[in-house]
Structures are given as structure tokens and as C-alpha cells.
Amino acid sequence: MLRREFLAVRSRLTADDLRATAAALADRALELPELAHARTVAAYVSVGAEPGTRALLDALHARGVRVLLPALLPDNDLDWGAYTGEDSLARVRHGGRMALLEPAGERLGPDAVTGADVVLLPGLAVDARGMRLGRGGGSYDRVLARLDRAGARPALVVLLYDTEVVARVPAEAHDRPVRAVVTPSGIRRFT
């Protein structure tokens, strides 16, 4: 029910809202020291009314950062490919779901994410503890488990709208807190 509420709020955003918040989100994210020093960033291409990531992806790529983007596998796990600009994306429909923009080039394997310095996570909300509420598909739970198994400790950062930073979200034993949330109005860190 909580997920539906956040999605309902997002569905009321206009195209102008989405453009303005995407630009502000990129500006704020680029202020993160973790991104300033990153050589490899695992990110994602926003879809629908998600907080926009395209300006951020382009800015990271222009800085010479290796940007990895996910490709959804049939079991909901994620493979990864390199982002080298808008031409490196392909629109892919997975069953009855909305179409996703995925890397069109070589697949690097699900473990490629373990080499990232920063992992930008999608979500619907984050709470005061840094616990992230995802969409419920489990794809990023698998990514986080893979990072744990590999002993990888990238900075975990969630990109959200200002209203999606809340007092508390449900958390399960396998959930990991994020280091920071970036919203159009700023950055909040968690310890």
C-alpha cells in the first residue's frame, strides 16, 4: 500500500515538473564528493515519473566516469553494460511491463557492479535510518547481496523527490541502508 501511495504522488507530476527536478537532481548529485572521485558508477535510466537521471548520466560520462547501466534479466536479476551516450541505449520491453532503456552494447555480467565506486539506486522512499523502499521487484536486493558476497563497499546513494524522504519505511533483515539520498533540493547523509 505504501508503494502505491508514492507512485500515485509521482503520477501527478507534470512534464515540466519532471524536467525541472531532473536538472536540479543532477546538480545536487554532482556535488557529492563520492561522485567527484568515482571512476566507475553503477546507475540506471529513469523511466516514467521516476526522478530523472539522464542529465546526471551525461554529466558523469562527460567527466570521463565509466557509467554502468542495468539490463533486466528474465529472473529479475540485473546484468550491466556501459553507457557511452544516448546512442548507447536501446528501448527494451520485458513482458507486460513498461519499456526500459538499457545499454545496447556488450553485456558485462551481473558481477560488473562489484567494481563500482558508487551505486545509484532507484527507490520510492528513504527513511531517517537510510533504509530504502524499492519498487518490490527484488532486482536491487540481488545487487546489494552480490556486493556483500564480493566484499564490495561502494557508496550507496538513492535518488528521490523531496517528499519521499520520510520518518520510517518497512525494512527486512536483508535490507542495507544507503549512505546518502539526493533530492532536487539537496543531499542528506546517513551514518
Distances (CA, A) of 99 to 46, 178, 184: 11, 27, 25
Which residues are within 8 A (CB) of 94 and not within 5 positions of it... i.e. 6 or more apart? 72, 100
Q: Does 7 appear as a known binding residue?
A: no
Q: Do the annotations mark residue 132 as ligand-binding?
A: yes
Query: Known binder of ligand: residue 123?
Result: no
Confirm whether residue 134 is marked as ligand binding. Answer: yes
DSSP letter assigned to residue 110: G
Annotated binding-site residue? 50 = yes
Residue partners of 74: CB distance under 8 A and separation at least 6: none
Residue 103 in contact with residue 82, Cβ under 8 Å? yes
Is 138 marked as a binding-site residue?
Answer: yes
* Residue 133 marked ligand-binding: yes
85 assigned ligand-binding residue: no
Flag whether 4 is marked binding: no
Binding-site sequence positions: 45, 50, 132-140
Binding-site sequence positions for substrate: 45, 50
Binding-site sequence positions for ATP: 132-140
